Amino acid sequence: MSLPLSIAAESPLLQQRLAKTLATLPQSFRAEGDAATAKAVLIAGSGDWATRAALAIETGARAVIVTDPGITEPDAVLALADRADEAGVVVELAERYAGDPTLLGHRPDLIQHLAATSTILISQVGDFATPADAALDMARTLRALGQTLRVTHIWQTTHCVIVRGTAADKLFEGIATASSAGTSQQIEALGFGRTLRLSLRGDGSARPSDLRLANAKGERRLPQVFESVDRAALLRALTAVCNGRPENEALRQFAADIAAIRSL
């Protein structure tokens, strides 16, 4: 695949978002005016995004990047994964919390530290379409940390959503507060003699999140990664296209997380 790879967004609003990222990747991507002829397509993760991503594959896209994917039909996500595998296309998810570059950059260290904890708490602030979308944000962050969330209860009040469940052998409780003033997600994992504290920005900027590990020897702040979620997702998609080894297992895990939340 020759570079720069042509890329387009499915809507003018998303094109504005894409333009900011493309300005930092002039040798990797070039803007294309028509999504039908572009080799990579940026899709908004609202509504029936899985169906629209599958349509992009049918029109010839070699990579599809889904921004802020939300609740949709899990069967459609599974069908998208199967079609992408069949066509040799990569579908990359640009998730505002689970796709945080600092989190992903330290994932092995975080998973190892998390193994010794017994309780996980999440507090997030921002906009969410439904209580299920709020729970999905939490489930996806835990998935990025090597934990599968089993939701047992979801309560909705006027301004917040409370989620309870388990992640493997750990107790879990999360609260999502509706706000238009900004976004953030705070994760705290507690164990005997150790804690894990993550402060994820979720604002789409390249400003780094803050990750800290603490035990009896003291607190350690993990090195920060100055990278945006969108830029990191585009680079992962580009690497997969160039290597000819697309990996779409994340879509199947996403479908499983949706199905688990919807089963309540």
Q: Which long-range contacts (CB under 8 A, 24 or more apart) does 151-158 make?
A: 151/260, 151/261, 151/264, 152/264, 153/264, 154/261, 154/264, 156/131
Phi-psi group of 163: left, alpha or beta (phi > 0 → left; psi -120 to 50 → alpha; rest → beta): beta
Average pLDDT over residues 200-209: 94
Question: Do 208 and 240 belong to one domain?
Answer: no
Do residues 88 and 200 share a domain? no
Confidence of residue 3 (pLDDT cuts 50, 70, 90): confident
Task: For residue 156, give the CATH number of its domain.
Answer: 3.30.360.10
The whole-number pLDDT of residue 97 equals: 97
Q: Phi-psi bin for 97: left (phi > 0), alpha (psi -120 to 50), beta?
A: alpha
What CATH number should be reported for the domain holding residue 254? 3.40.50.720
Find the domain containing 74 and state its range. 5-96+229-262
* Same domain for 179 and 108: yes
Q: Are both 124 and 163 inside the same structural domain? A: yes
Do 88 and 107 lie in a common domain? Answer: no
pLDDT at 107: 96
What would the mean pLDDT of 180-184 be, rounded to a whole number?
87
Question: 69 and 42, same structural domain?
Answer: yes
Residue of 148 and 247 predicted with greater confidence: 148
pLDDT confidence of residue 1? 63
181 and 197 co-located in one domain = yes
- pLDDT for the residue 148: 95
Residues 110 and 208 in one domain: yes
Question: Is 253 within 8 Å of 143 (Cβ atoms)?
Answer: yes
Shared domain for 112 and 213, answered yes or no, is yes
Residues 51 and 106 in one domain: no
User: Do 127 and 167 lie in a common domain?
Assistant: yes
Is residue 95 within 8 Å of 230, Cβ to Cβ?
no
- Check residues 247 and 91 and name the one with the higher pLDDT: 91
Q: How many domains does the chain have?
A: 2
Higher pLDDT, 3 or 48: 48
Whether residues 129 and 205 share a domain: the answer is yes
pLDDT higher than threshold 90 for residue 224: yes
